[in-house]
Amino acid sequence: MTETTPDVLVQRIERLERENRRFKRAGAALALGLVAVLVMGQAPGRARTLEAEKLVLKDRSGKIRAVLGEGGEEREHGLFLYDGKRVPRAWLALDLAGSPGLRMASEIGADRVRLEPDGGLNLYGTAGRIYLSVKYGTEPSLDLIDKDGWTRAVLHLNSAPILRLLDQRGHARLWMGAMGDGKAQIYLGARPEPSPPGQVVDMSKPRILPYATLEVDADGTMGLQFRRGGTIWKAP
C-alpha cells in the first residue's frame, strides 16, 4: 500500500480550497445577477424625450433633404421635404393661424397640389387649375379655372346636380341640370353687354337677356323656348 506523503496532502487541500473559493465567487456573482434582473424588472420604465426647435436631415453629400420645424416663406411649422437642388417639393404644416395644409410642388417650386381644410383641393397645371371643395360645408363643387383666374366650368350639387359653363369674362352661358322635380333642363344664355361708364343701372328692372331653353319633364313631356326681348317661339 502506497503511503501518502505530507506534501501531497497539502497540495490536495490547497487545490480543494481554491476550487471552493471559485464556486463561492461564481455563486455570489449569480446571486447578484438575479437580484439585478429582479430590480430592473420591477423598476418603472423611463420615457425618453428629445426637445429641439428644428430637426434637419441631410444626405451623404451634406445636402438638406428634410426639415422638421419652422420653415417655408410663411413661417409655417411642420415637415418640409427638399430635392437635391434644395427646392421644397412637399410639406405638411400648420400656418400661423393653426390651419393645416398639404402642398406638393414642381421642380421649380411652383404649386402642383394644395390641400387646405377651408380652401379645398387645388390641382395646378400650365393651362389652369382644378378646384374641388365643399361650399358652405354642405355643397360639393368642382371648378375648372383657366390660367387667367377665370372660372370656366362648375359642377355643383345642392338639391340637384347642375353644370355651368362660363365665358372668358366669367359670365355663365350654359346651364345643364337634373332638377329635384324630375325635370331635365338645358339653358343657353347670351352674354350681357357692359354698361357705359357712369350709367346708373336700375336693379328694379332687370334686363332679360336672349336665351333658349330645352326641358324634358319626368313624364316625358318636352318643351323648347326661344326668347329675345319676348318669347318668339315656344313648344308645346
Contact between 72 and 86 (Cβ < 8 Å): no
**Nearest residue to 155 via CA among 178, 124, 137, 171:** 178
Q: Which of 1-15, 67-81, 119-133: highest mean pLDDT?
A: 119-133
**Rounded to two decimals, what is the model's pTM?**
0.68
Contact between 143 and 130 (Cβ < 8 Å): yes
Domain presence at residue 47: no
Tens of pLDDT, residue by residue over 18-70, are: 655 655 555 555 555 555 555 555 555 567 888 888 999 999 999 999 999 98
Tens of pLDDT, residue by residue over 88-97, are: 999 999 988 8
- What does the pLDDT read at residue 234? 85
How does DSSP classify residue 201? P
Domain presence at residue 111: yes
Q: What angle do CA 37, 41, 43 make, to 5 degrees?
A: 120
Query: Band of the pLDDT at 207, cuts 50, 70, 90?
Result: low
Tens of pLDDT, residue by residue over 119-177, are: 899 999 999 999 999 987 789 999 999 999 999 999 999 888 999 999 998 899 999 99
Query: Cα–Cα distances in Å, from 204 out to 34, 45, 193?
Result: 95, 77, 18
Q: What is the percentage of the chain residues whose pLDDT exceeds 90?
A: 47
Rounded-to-integer distance, Cα 84 and Cα 62, Å: 10
- What does the pLDDT read at residue 1? 43
How does DSSP classify residue 168? T
Domain presence at residue 200: no
The three cell numbers locating residue 33: 445577477
The whole domain housing 82 covers 53-118
The number of distinct structural domains making up the chain is: 1
Domain presence at residue 114: yes
Domain presence at residue 95: yes
Domain presence at residue 152: no
Q: What is the percentage of the chain residues whose pLDDT exceeds 70?
A: 73
Contact between 185 and 191 (Cβ < 8 Å): no
Domain presence at residue 82: yes
- What does the pLDDT read at residue 184? 95
Domain presence at residue 59: yes
